[in-house]
Amino acid sequence: METRTERDSMGEFDVPADAYYGANTMRAVVNFPISDLRLPRGFIRALTNADLGLLEPRIAEAVVRAAQDVVDGSLDDAFVVDVFQTGSGTSTNMNANEVISNRAIELLGGEKGSRTPVHPNDHVNLGQSSNDVFPSAIHVAAGVEIRDRLIPALERLEASLRRQSEKQWEVIKTGRTHLQDATPIRLGQEFLGWAGQVERGRRRAATALDELTEIALGGTAVGTGVNTHPDFARRVSERVAEATGVPFRETGNHFQAQSRLDGVVTASALLRTIAVSLHTIAGDLRLLGCGPRAGIAEIALPAVQPGSSIMPGKVNPVICESVTMVAAQVIGNDATVAFAGAAGSLLELNVMMPVAAYNLLQSIAILSTSAVNLAEQAVDGVEATANGPRLVEEGLMTCTALTPRIGYDAAAAIAKEAFRSGRTVRQVAREQTELTEEELTALLDPVRMTEPG
């Protein structure tokens, strides 16, 4: 491979001749051959949006143009540093600084790698440190992704569940607790419950976004703001808020903002709660659809692909299974973020920021896509079967409606006898109570049992 020799503060180092990154980045590539995981482009976009400084106009314009190229994605291949790197994210930050520097040099007619007239530290990194830029980029990237992807995805799923709630409202079926028969419920009420979970998930996502709007930029090395203009952080925060439409603001306490990841940990925990909700919804859907002949089969999920390589005609609830695996990943990601927040905070700096950033952003991404996929590939196409209504009259827990008239013990005896004899609650109640047929019809009306009273 053809190379060029670049220099950084540690000396000379060879880099690929056509690369936009420089010696510092190449050292990180060599030092951290850990995985194929890279920070996503949303993070890189957030990182470069903070690159504003007090520069002479010619250099400033070139830096801005180069940063915009990064934002637009045309230089994605130049971001090569592993997630498992220096804990402050300095390698990724310098990767960005070098790429922007070399692209700006190129725009000004210079030679890549010359570090002149645009220097990655003196110009691109002016007034900044990895220690305040990196946590700020986490907040900006995650905040924008929650606003632009996760919240709309949850809105889409909630709308789908609410439509099914209205569509299936008249379907009366057996409710279940402990996986045992309980009193009647409307199929539409089950969908309404799931819609309520997702609605509250939206609120939690909004809370997570609010946790991320405070950014650490301006603290530089340890929170004191050394080597930065006193108005820099406020002005950049305003610019970032204007550019993204998210109300990002400079923190009121820089010492906590860059030494701790509490906002990231809180946001991740809220994402975990959303993941748990989606897991339970997907689990309920596949349970109600289990069968089609030897299970509950009260709903039919859309058939989207063959389910077996050996059993012809078998169709599995694969969309729901996909959601449950996403939930498992998000819960695991949250454990990593929590560990990074706790174990990575050492005095004035957290030193596990890259892995926290990767896991938080991955959680947002896969929750967003799986929520939309669940809506489009599963919920939208759910159909009720005749199994639910058919089993209501045979259900034993309809005896619950008799309790206010004949008492708990008498109602329990009726249920046990109905189960032993294979008869219905109505048939046994005719024999063991003095209730008239009209009273039994009124008390055992399954529609009334789906309402308070």
DSSP state of 11: E
Predicted local distance difference test score (pLDDT) of residue 269: 98
- Report the C-alpha gap between 331 and 318 in whole angstroms: 20
Are the beta carbons of 320 and 285 closer than 8 angstroms? yes
Q: Other CB atoms closer than 10 Å to residue 132's CB: what's the count?
A: 28
Which option is the CATH number for 132-386: 1.20.200.10, 1.20.1530.20, 1.10.167.10, 3.30.1130.10?
1.20.200.10
Q: Which of 139, 160, 165, 178 is catalytic?
A: 178
The dihedrals phi and psi of 11, each to the nearest 5 degrees, come to 125, -160
Per residue in 149-177, pLDDT (tens digit) is 999 999 999 999 999 999 999 999 999 99
Per residue in 247-278, pLDDT (tens digit) is 999 999 999 999 999 999 999 999 999 999 99
- Report the C-alpha gap between 346 and 348 in whole angstroms: 6
Phi-psi region of 184 (alpha: psi -120 to 50; beta: other; left: phi over 0): beta
Please give the distance of CA 198 from its chain centroid, rounded to a whole number: 13
Burial of residue 248 (number of CB atoms within 10 Å: 0-12, 13-18, 19+) = buried
Residue 348's nearest CA partner among 251, 214, 216 is 216
Burial of residue 421 (number of CB atoms within 10 Å: 0-12, 13-18, 19+) = exposed
Neighbouring residues of 352: CB distance < 8 A, sequence distance ≥ 6: 87, 261, 339, 340, 341, 343, 344
Are the beta carbons of 398 and 444 closer than 8 angstroms? yes
- Report the C-alpha gap between 213 and 266 in whole angstroms: 13
Residue 323's nearest CA partner among 357, 360, 361, 274 is 274
pLDDT of 325 higher than 50 = yes
List C-alpha distances in Å: 338 to 204, 261, 264, 299, 346. Answer: 18, 9, 9, 39, 15
Q: Residue 427 has which token pair?
A: 């048939």
Predicted local distance difference test score (pLDDT) of residue 48: 62
Residue with the two structure tokens 């915009």: 68
Predicted local distance difference test score (pLDDT) of residue 52: 47
Per residue in 130-142, pLDDT (tens digit) is 999 999 999 999 9
Q: Residue 444 has which token pair?
A: 């055992």
Parse the chain into domains and list their residue ranges. Answer: 3-126, 132-386, 393-450
- Report the C-alpha gap between 449 and 439 in whole angstroms: 14
Neighbouring residues of 17: CB distance < 8 A, sequence distance ≥ 6: 1, 2, 3, 4
Predicted local distance difference test score (pLDDT) of residue 270: 98
Are the beta carbons of 201 and 277 closer than 8 angstroms? yes
Q: Which of 277, 308, 345, 368 is catalytic?
A: 308
Residue 174: strand, helix, or coil: strand
Q: Is 178 one of the annotated active-site residues of the chain?
A: yes
The CATH number of 3-126 is 1.10.275.10
Predicted local distance difference test score (pLDDT) of residue 50: 47
Predicted local distance difference test score (pLDDT) of residue 56: 84
Per residue in 414-440, pLDDT (tens digit) is 999 999 999 999 999 999 999 999 999
HEC profile of 122-153 = HHHCCCCCHHHHHHHHHHHHHHHHHHHHHHHH
Residue with the two structure tokens 């449950």: 324
- Tell me the average pLDDT of the chain: 95
List C-alpha distances in Å: 120 to 31, 129, 156. Answer: 20, 12, 43
**For residue 280, what is the enclosing H or E element?**
helix 262-288
CA angle 144, 149, 152 (to 5 degrees): 120
Per residue in 1-58, pLDDT (tens digit) is 899 999 899 999 999 999 999 999 999 999 999 999 999 989 988 876 544 446 788 9
Q: Residue 389 has which token pair?
A: 């209504």
Residue 298's nearest CA partner among 190, 197, 452, 397 is 190
- Report the C-alpha gap between 294 and 74 in whole angstroms: 55
- Report the C-alpha gap between 373 and 306 in whole angstroms: 18
Q: Is 91 one of the annotated active-site residues of the chain?
A: no
CATH class of 393-450: mainly alpha
Are the beta carbons of 432 and 416 closer than 8 angstroms? no
User: What is the mean pLDDT of the segment spanning 340-366?
Assistant: 97
